[in-house]
Amino acid sequence: MPKDWLEWHDLYNSEPKLQQRLEIVRQYIAYSLDNAPTGNIRIVSLCAGDGRDLLGTLPNHPRAKDVYARLVELNPQLVERGRANIESLGLTKQIEFINGDATSAANYLGAAPADIVIVCGIFGNLADENELNRLLENLSFLTKKGAFVLWTRGHTHGIAYSEIVRKYFREFGFEEIDFQLTATGDMGVGIHRYLGESIATPKQEQLFVFSGVPNKAR
């Protein structure tokens, strides 16, 4: 069991569920880049970990030169690792990795609304459906009209939590582009498009509460 979020990331080396999830998330990032409008592509990633989903996709993508991204992550060691990767990819002018609180709206000023919003590894770390609703509602601050939102949600005790997420996305004015379960069958990955209007100010400064812990991560 991982004792912190840095150790949790080591599970990518051994857990098929996480490896398959990463593969699908990268496919969805590539799809979003393929279908982004011409010109600059703004990306934000919440609770970004070490940024391996986006940083593993950009080097092979023809639209990489158009990307301006802000990744927000609390764990300083993961941020350090991500920044080193950004530097080695020569993307320091395009990607900022903020060591800060992803639940705070202030950390997206100047970066939101975005064309692509990455919300991976978060929904399973919210206290309940009210908190999920709060975050989905606040996505209208982070996303442009027509933006892509990429998300993941693990299943536990045989409960298909990703179905609940899909239902709420529909209710909040998102169109589902695609949804896949990992081959392991217990992790949902989705890509939705926001059809509503973007709002300039969120209802609350705190967009959601991340209450999960790494040894129970879902």
User: Residue numbers of the site for ligand SAM (CB under 6 A)?
Assistant: 5, 8, 47-49, 72-75, 78, 101-103, 120-121, 210, 217
Rounded to the nearest angstrom, the gap between the alpha carbon of residue 162 and the centroid of all alpha carbons in its chain is 15
Judge whether 151 and 53 are in contact, CB under 8 Å.
no
Q: How close are the terminal C-alpha atoms of the chain, in Å? A: 12
Task: Between 38 and 106, name the residue whose CB sits nearer to ligand SAM.
Answer: 106
List, edge to edge, every strand of the sheet that includes 41-46. 95-99, 67-73, 41-46, 114-119, 143-154, 187-194, 174-181
Q: Taking CB positions, which residue lies at the least distance from ligand SAM?
A: 121
**Please, how many CA atoms are within 13 Å of residue 177, restricted to the half-sphere of its CB?**
19
CB of 50 to ligand SAM, least distance (A): 7
Cβ-based nearer residue to ligand SAM, 94 or 103: 103
Instruction: Please say which residue, 40 or 215, places its beta carbon nearer to ligand SAM.
Output: 215
State in angstroms the smallest separation of the CB of 13 from ligand SAM: 13
Q: Toward ligand SAM, which CB reaches closer, 73 or 186? A: 73
